[in-house]
Chains A and B, each alone.
Chain A
Amino acid sequence: MTVSTGKSFVSRFGVHIAVFIFVAIWTIPTLGILVSSLRDKDQIIASGWWNSFTSSSQTEAGRLPPASAQVEKDGKFVLQGNIFGDGPARNISAFGVKSAAPTQYPAGTTADLGDGVTLQLNADGSFVMTSPKAFEGERGQRVYYASSAPPKFTTDNYDTVLFSEGIGRSFMNSLTVTIPATVIPILIAAFAAYALAWMRFPGRALLIAVIIGLLVVPLQMSLIPLLKLYNGVGSFFGVPSKTYLGIWLAHTGFGLPFAIYLLRSYIAGLPREIMESARIDGASDFEIFVKIVLPLSFPVLASFAIFQFLWVWNDLLVAMVFLGTEGDQIVLTAKLNALLGSRGGDWEILTTSAFVTIIVPLIVFFSLQRYFVRGLLAGSVKGG
């Protein structure tokens, strides 16, 4: 499918540029949260993440030592020291003593504060304050300064979200939901798909039509009746209505139509001769299924497994309806949604949590992309 027209240098160059722009638009958003999740939390709000490799400038306030630290020198009273104390050094560009004008004086100059009082603050944070009269008071002079901090990357945010924000726990909950909800439907669907593809029985065509119809039934149709059903079952047997078993079965039910559809079209395409020769050798349907169909269907089983895994892992709606919101049940997507409400402006928490939630799908996706694409093509060619 290569068109050999317009192969001039300009148009070829144009194609590269256009694709590059598309790729940039599609990757930069994700890159943004990855970079931000690794930044120091004060720097996240001080500068855009695209500036994270250059020094970020921010205005801060500090206090000089109190009057008790003064020394008398040449008839003047002097306070001396470094405003950063023992902390990490930063580069000061300007300073001031009024909150309205925090960067009134360039670093290194001597500011006249009136009544003969002077203050000099240098770029490295060292300062000299002199006065003809003795300093008084318990609290030292307030000083504002604009400093630039070198880029600072850290994994502290990951420590915080995983161990104190509950994301680590939710990660386990998501795995607990996802693995059984992926495995159970595969088996059930594979048997049904084989029967629908290779066995003759009355009502088969109707059953296939029903399954294709169910493919597009919106999830919303199922929520209320199932919620009522679960509550009813829960109160009848005196058990909680929100359980892992409940959500496994729900995801199995919602995933089955697509699973059966996808597996059936693949299994129906297996060569007839293999099945017939096995049958002539006296193999039963069960043996044919286990020994021939299952091994041959591995690619489509893998495709469906990836689909179901991604769908269950990324699901929010089913989890919000059928699982609790406490720590022992809340899954990653629901937790992230809750954090958006409770920690709305704390981007170090949100970006890091978001990255934790998307890392598993990304790994699955990149390592198994071949199967994923194959399933996508098989599942949608007839309109899923």
Chain B
Amino acid sequence: MAAQIFSAIFVIIIGVGGCVAYFWGANKALDTIFPARGVSGKAAINNLRRQGVIRPWLFVGPAMIILTIYLIYPVVETLRLSFLDRGGAHFVGLANYQWAFGDREFRNSILNNIMWLAVVPAACTFLGLIIAVLTDKIWWGTIAKSLIFLPLAISFVGASVIWKFIYEYRGEGQTQIGLLNAIIQYFGGQPQVWISLPFWNNFFLMVILIWIQTGFAMVILSSALRGIPEETLEAAVIDGANPFQIFWKVMVPQIWGTIAVVWTTITILVLKVFDIVLTMTNGQWNSQVLANLMFDWMFRGGGDFGRGATIAIIIMIAVIPIMVWNIRQANKETEGH
């Protein structure tokens, strides 16, 4: 272990030092090859111009290389692999896509993903908005927000253990050590094995993600609510609006853009949800989702890269509309500058 600590420190120094050395050295080299100081006026101007052409590429170069290897090339390669067989050697056309839509487990995953998409972003945004409004009105609101925000720092695996403990089941009549079954039994109900209840188990998994992400929605929406001009609220009060009307007709419309952002951010997260399903059920009892199914096919029976890639592409297709919308928004903003 000591050797590991030592090598980790060593590598950090090498890695960071290497980065610093590259940026410093590359700039030094550029200044040396095209000197702008100590040469005649005309040469200096020429050299400055050349520096101006080259230097941006020294700055963005490393980032571009890494982005190309780790994101751009893989996107193209995954698309190509989705038309090849399991080993990636033979072209099979649309066979993988045909397989996918005929496969019971895949269709089950799609349905579950749609349920996740319908429930989780809506629940997080709604709860986040309510908590943001309520905590704004009380003196200990900041502490309350911190505590609700806290699960955002917890890993999906850690959260899964936390909630598995809550869903823990013991036979009827025994002492329940899972909180949920203990409450049910206290009120005379029958304890259940929550994570294997067909159909409903999906919702018990969703609760975990909602528990994690509500804090995110709350923080973003809370800051948007603060940006609402005081006058609009005062005007509504003078006009005799009740608190619910103020909330729905004055506050919500003004933060509509932020609500959309929170919604889409959580939507993307939901499409990629993997850890929770893997650790809670690993897709058993009809709780499979696309991301976990894809991981499964990457390694199942030595790995079927064709089918794995196909599932990845389907997740990607679901993300594309959001991606296009983001780029449009960003372009609008840069034009506005």
Chain A bound to chain B: yes
- Name A residues whose Cβ lies closer than 8 Å to a Cβ of B: 1-6, 11-12, 15-16, 18-19, 22-23, 26-30, 32-33, 36, 44-50, 169, 172-173, 175-176, 179-180, 183-184, 187-189, 191-192, 194-196, 199-201, 204-205, 207-229, 244-245, 248-250, 252-254, 256-257, 260, 284-286, 289, 310, 313-317, 320-321, 328, 333, 336-337, 340, 347, 350-351, 353-354, 357-358, 361-362, 364-366, 369, 373, 376-377, 380-384
Instruction: Known A-B contacts: A29-B166, A191-B23. Give 13 more (CB < 8 A).
Output: A3-B137, A19-B138, A26-B215, A30-B150, A30-B151, A33-B165, A48-B176, A48-B182, A191-B59, A224-B77, A244-B8, A336-B279, A362-B153
Known contacts A214-B71, A362-B153, A383-B265: A19-B62 contact under CB 8 Å: no
By the criterion CB–CB under 8 Å, are B326 and A382 in contact?
A: yes
Which of the residues A189, A248, A320, A383 comes within 8 Å of B325, measured between beta carbons?
A: A383
Contacts of A19 in B (CB 8 A): 131, 134-135, 138, 140-141, 144
Pull 17 A–B residue pairs with CB atoms less than 8 Å apart, ordered by A: A29-B165, A30-B151, A48-B182, A183-B16, A195-B60, A210-B67, A211-B67, A217-B316, A223-B294, A223-B308, A225-B74, A225-B77, A228-B77, A256-B66, A315-B155, A337-B278, A380-B265
Q: Per-residue CB proximity of B287-316 to A under 8 Å, as 1/0?
A: 000010011001000000100110111011
> How many Å lie between the Cα of A314 and that of B153 in the bound state?
8
Q: Is the CB of B88 within 8 A of A361?
A: no
Q: List the 9 closest pairs (A to B, CB-CB), nearest first.
A: A253-B70, A314-B155, A195-B59, A192-B63, A225-B77, A365-B153, A201-B56, A354-B161, A225-B74
A316 touches B278 (CB 8 A): yes
Give how many A-B residue pairs fall within 8 Å (CB-CB): 362
CB–CB A192/B70 < 8 A? no
CB contact under 8 A between A224 and B309, given known A44-B177, A49-B177, A187-B20: yes
Contact, CB under 8 Å: A26 / B151? yes
**Of listed A33, A252, A253, residue having the most chain B CB within 10 A:** A253
* Docked complex Cα distance between A212 and B147 (Å): 32
Residue B156 lies at the interface, judged by CB distance under 8 Å to chain A: yes
Residue of A nearest to B262 (CB): A380
Q: Does B46 belong to the interface (CB within 8 Å)?
A: no
Surface stretch bound by A, among B90-98, B113-121, B268-276: B268-276
Q: Is the interface of B mostly helix, strand, loop or mixed?
A: helix
Chain B residues, Cβ within 8 Å of A200: 52, 56
- Are B161 and A188 in contact, with the CB atoms below 8 A? no
* Cβ contact within 8 Å between A218 and B155: no
Are B305 and A382 in contact (CB-based, < 8 A)?
Answer: no
